[in-house]
Amino acid sequence: MIKIRKPGLHTTVQDRGRQGSYHLGIPPSGAADQYSFLLGNLLLGNPDHCAGLEITLLGPEIECLKKTCLAITGAPIECRLNRQPVPMWEPILVQEGDILSLGKVDQGVKSYITFAGGIQVPDVLGSKSTFVLGNLGGYQGRAVKEGDELAIGDPLPEVFKRVGKNIPTSCLPLFEKEKELRVVMGLSGHRISDEGLKAVLQSDWQVGLESNRVAYRYKGNSISFKKVEPPFGAGTRLSNVVDIAYPIGVVMVTNEEEMIILLRDGTSGGGFVTIGTVISPDLDLVAQSRPMSSTRFIAVTTEQAMEARRERSKKVRLVSELLKGD
């Protein structure tokens, strides 16, 4: 069991996300930075679906009510156990009564705490992830509050042997201020003029202050549409199409001055022009982009997108093998 003494800015229970309900309007939710979250579970020898805590910009203060191990991953954040500094990216032994305090995120946006055995909350549609807008999953469908007590699983004896082990630097994610996002172009991109596509791919875009787990907003150059009449049922604006399904990571052009990328809590469909989709490994970069930071978009092929996914999977396997082999 853990007790929330201070909740931080916005701390929620998340796992890898729920599958199979997006067509019903229920998003996958789950950790916004999937790679950092997965490494946290690997460090502890957990199955990759075990639930942990996702932290946004300012961390919580947590009292541990039993002996266990935990790991802190994701965006760099000040970490203290009983007021003493502790490292990220390695298993940490905690005793009953220990106080874990996390400060502000120095780079990026999202940090994670995973626990040996995972956080134990009821599954909702196959996942423990929190979808706050739908009051669904996690701990009572909301961000944690002061005084909440969350059950955690029993640690396996082997996990205590992992204390002090770490992940090779080559396998750690980078938290650079400026991001490059790879996009597979397509969908209704034919509605954008050649000049508009050049503006998308040859300009710097700034992350909007309104960005969150639902969507990230970007402003930069002007994106011109082709002067064609919108199809019947789409409305009258050049940015409109007849409603279509949106994949997670879709890049929508809602007007000539703004683009929107849907994230883990995004809506499943709508009627805006969509010019492509951010590849899955780079959705982690979107989630770690701070407001007002700069982003460039790079067009890639489907084959290049699949290769990027394979490369990330290789890193995951390498980390898993190294942690087991020591």
Cβ atoms within 10 A of the Cβ of 204, count?
12
Query: What tokens appear for 133 in the block?
Result: 């807008």
Residue 323 domain flag: no
Residues facing residue 20 across a β-bridge: none
The predicted structure's pLDDT at residue 27: 96
Which of helix, strand or coil describes residue 54? strand
Question: How far is it, in rounded angstroms, from Cα 32 to Cα 46?
Answer: 19
Closest CA to 68 of 5, 144, 6, 159: 159
Final residue before a domain boundary, out of 125, 157, 174: 174
Q: What is the strand order of the sheet 68-74 is part of? A: 11-14, 52-56, 110-115, 68-74, 92-94
User: What CATH number is associated with residue 278?
Assistant: 2.40.100.10
Closest CA to 287 of 317, 266, 304, 308: 266
pLDDT band at 41 (very low <50, low <70, confident <90, very high): very high
CA dihedral 238, 242, 248, 250 (to 10 degrees): -20
pLDDT in tens, 229-281: 777 777 778 888 888 889 999 999 988 889 999 999 999 888 888 999 999 99
For residue 315, the surrounding DSSP H or E stretch is helix 302-325
Q: How many domains does the chain have?
A: 2
Instruction: Based on the fold, state whether residues 156 and 11 are members of the same structural domain.
Output: yes
Final residue before a domain boundary, out of 141, 159, 174: 174
Residue 10 domain flag: yes
Instruction: Based on the fold, state whether residues 261 and 303 are members of the same structural domain.
Output: yes
57-61, 126-130, 160-164: lowest mean pLDDT where? Answer: 160-164
Q: How buried is residue 50: exposed, middle or buried, by Cβ count under 10 Å (0-12/13-18/19+)?
A: buried
Instruction: Based on the fold, state whether residues 187 and 265 are members of the same structural domain.
Output: yes
Final residue before a domain boundary, out of 159, 174, 189: 174
The predicted structure's pLDDT at residue 326: 52
Distances (CA, A) of 150 to 146, 262, 324: 11, 30, 29
Average pLDDT (89-98) is 96
Instruction: Based on the fold, state whether residues 96 and 191 are members of the same structural domain.
Output: no
Calculate the average pLDDT of the chain. 93
- Whether the per-residue pLDDT at 44 is higher than 70: the answer is yes
Instruction: Based on the fold, state whether residues 25 and 41 are members of the same structural domain.
Output: yes
Instruction: Based on the fold, state whether residues 166 and 192 are members of the same structural domain.
Output: no
Average pLDDT (105-110) is 94
Average pLDDT (114-136) is 96
pLDDT in tens, 1-16: 999 999 999 999 999 9
Instruction: Based on the fold, state whether residues 158 and 201 are members of the same structural domain.
Output: no
Instruction: Based on the fold, state whether residues 146 and 183 are members of the same structural domain.
Output: no
Instruction: Based on the fold, state whether residues 105 and 239 are members of the same structural domain.
Output: no
Residue 231 domain flag: yes
Instruction: Based on the fold, state whether residues 90 and 237 are members of the same structural domain.
Output: no
pLDDT in tens, 175-232: 999 999 999 998 788 889 999 999 999 999 999 999 999 999 999 889 998 888 777 7
Residue 326 domain flag: no
Which of helix, strand or coil describes residue 285? helix
Instruction: Based on the fold, state whether residues 52 and 189 are members of the same structural domain.
Output: no
Residues spanned by the domain of 192:
179-309
Instruction: Based on the fold, state whether residues 82 and 188 are members of the same structural domain.
Output: no
Q: What single-letter DSSP state applies at residue 158?
A: G
